[in-house]
């Protein structure tokens, strides 16, 4: 991606999201959260790409993908009043549809567009739901955007939990209660599969446990370094109950960190 192409993408992002502002040029609280999240994911993607020593063109592409990864959230929320994919629409696929409807592909060469499309369409999928036959060049950028996205969601949720008990975010995620109990079966799923189905989340504690499980799916060393710099795992641990299963999970995550069993 050239600087000119990235500037086009930034300008389009602003123009597109401006359509959802009211007469006073203000986004609703929910959409403003997604707007700001998109900016931070773009920054995370840039930082990761730079540390991976990617080319200047690919750093621009990573930042651009991060910026528009959640573009489907805007029409999703306006249409359904919810960010819950399971009962509305897959926001990754909605984002891909939006980009095609907006004729974004014609502004990029085939290689860049394929990487953009893949990052947007699959950034929110469980690993098991990502097509196994994706080309490595597509997987590489998809992993990067997934890392950048997870880092900001972790930060966003933990700030909400510690500052107001998740009450502000619960207005946008009504299927998540502010209760601090752990839903039965949650730890069994994580310890067995190292992942959690979003559809099984019921409480704030369930959500925080899911964030812990995301450490198994941080793909690149720079993303893990950013998580460490931001003390994300320590903050997660502070908010979780001191149960045997939780201790087992956290010990395994820390062990993987020390042994560097994650992908590089």
All structural domains of the chain with their residue ranges: 3-149, 151-259
Per-residue pLDDT of the chain (264 residues; tens, 9 = 90+): 999 999 999 999 999 999 999 999 999 999 999 999 999 999 999 999 999 999 999 999 999 999 999 999 999 999 999 898 988 999 999 999 999 999 999 999 999 999 999 999 999 998 889 999 999 999 999 999 999 999 999 999 998 888 766 666 655 665 677 778 888 888 888 888 888 877 788 888 998 999 999 999 899 999 999 999 999 999 999 999 999 999 999 998 988 765 554 444
For domain 3-149, the CATH superfamily is Hypothetical protein af1432 (1.10.3210.10)
Q: The whole model's pTM is what?
A: 0.91
Alpha-carbon distance of 96 to 72, in angstroms, equals 7
CB of 186 within 8 A of CB of 211?
A: no
Query: Environment class of residue 79 by beta-carbon count within 10 Å: exposed (0-12), middle (13-18) or buried (19+)?
Result: exposed
Q: What is the pLDDT of residues 179-195, one digit of tens each?
A: 788 888 888 888 888 88
CA angle (39 as vertex; 34, 40 as ends), nearest 5 = 95
Task: Round the CA-based radius of gyration of the chain to a whole number and report it.
Answer: 18
CA-based torsion, 119, 123, 125, 129: positive or negative: positive
């Amino acid at each position: 991606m050239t600087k000119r192409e990235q500037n086009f993408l930034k300008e389009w992002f602003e123009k597109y999201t401006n359509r959802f502002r009211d007469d006073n040029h203000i986004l609703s609280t929910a959409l403003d959260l997604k707007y700001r999240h998109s900016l931070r994911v773009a920054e995370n993607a840039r930082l990761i790409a730079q540390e991976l020593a990617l080319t200047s063109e690919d750093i621009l592409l990573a930042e651009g993908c991060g910026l528009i990864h959640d573009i489907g959230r805007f029409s999703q929320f306006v249409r359904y009043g919810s960010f819950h994919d399971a009962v509305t629409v897959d926001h990754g696929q909605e984002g891909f549809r939006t980009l095609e409807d907006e004729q974004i592909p014609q502004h990029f060469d085939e290689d860049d567009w394929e990487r953009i499309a893949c990052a947007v369409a699959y950034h929110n999928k469980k690993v098991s739901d990502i097509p196994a036959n994706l080309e490595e060049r597509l997987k590489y950028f998809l992993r990067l955007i997934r890392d950048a996205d997870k880092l900001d969601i972790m930060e966003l949720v933990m700030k909400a939990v510690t500052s107001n008990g998740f009450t502000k975010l619960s207005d946008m995620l009504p299927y998540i209660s502010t209760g601090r109990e752990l839903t039965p079966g949650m730890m069994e799923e994580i310890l067995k599969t190292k992942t959690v189905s979003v559809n099984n989340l019921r409480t704030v504690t369930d959500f925080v446990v899911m964030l812990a499980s995301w450490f198994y799916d941080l793909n690149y060393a720079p993303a893990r370094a950013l998580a460490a710099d931001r003390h994300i795992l320590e903050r997660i641990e502070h908010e979780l109950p001191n149960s045997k299963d939780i201790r087992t999970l956290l010990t395994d995550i820390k062990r993987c960190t020390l042994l560097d069993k994650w992908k590089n």
